[in-house]
Amino acid sequence: MVLTKIREMVIEGEGEEAVALIKQAMQANISVRDIVSEGLIGAMNVVGPKMASGEMFVPEVLMCAEAMQEGLVYLKPFLKDGDVVSSGKFLIGTVKGDLHDIGKNLVAMMMESSGFEVFNIGIDQSTEAFLEAIEQHKPDIVGLSALLTTTMPAMRDTVNDIREKGIAVKIFVGGAPVSEEFAKEIGADAYCPDAAETVVLAKAMLA
């Protein structure tokens, strides 16, 4: 079936082939909603667990996510309200003083590929920038990333300020120096060791 082939091409990171198959599916009057949910998001639902189990590695996952994005870009003009059912809103950024973004961007891509509406506000983001973005986008979950031990205090400060404002949002934290213990200590809702686990935790928390 063509939807199965689309899923396979995305998993293999073959964006052009996936788009060609999407065109075939549309010519066969398969709905855009089914193409997205069963073909594209369906592929990432396979990729996520494979990454978590160590069967797939970051470069392969990035290729899959990029192939999925190619499919979405092609389908965008044909999407109608209701074709893509959002899993929730997810805002992510790297905290003040930290310029790392590869891990953050992978999380953003995986979340978007899994049906979340993602707002990636970039690197070196102050508490004020996070608060402004939360006010603007009204996310269900905020993800804070830190790759340096020296920027972990900024992560703590951002969590504290969000909590002090009484904003009803789940806070996820992750990055090389971050641990489950640190996440609990600063009052985050979840520690995310990798992109695949972030998707799993987010879906479970918003279920």
Instruction: State the DSSP H helix or E strand holding residue 142, giving kind and residue range, or none if neither.
Output: strand 141-145
Taking only Cα atoms into account, the Rg of the chain, rounded to an integer number of angstroms, comes to 18
* pLDDT for the residue 115: 84
pTM: 0.80
* pLDDT for the residue 76: 85
Give the C-alpha separation, 55 to 64, whole Å: 14
For the chain, which ranges sit under pLDDT 70?
Answer: 81-82
* pLDDT for the residue 69: 87
Domain residue extents for the chain: 2-78, 88-206
Please write the tens of the pLDDT for every residue from 171-207: 999 999 999 999 999 999 999 998 888 988 999 999 8
Residue 24 in 3-state DSSP?
helix
CATH superfamily of 88-206: Cobalamin-binding domain (3.40.50.280)
* pLDDT for the residue 143: 98
Considering the four listed CATH numbers 3.40.50.1470, 1.10.1240.10, 3.40.190.10, 3.40.50.300, the one that applies to the domain covering 2-78 is: 1.10.1240.10
In the Cβ-directed half-sphere of 94, how many Cα atoms lie within 13 Å? Answer: 22
In degrees, rounded to 5, the angle at the alpha carbon of residue 198 between the alpha carbons of residues 181 and 109 is: 140
* pLDDT for the residue 195: 86
* pLDDT for the residue 22: 96
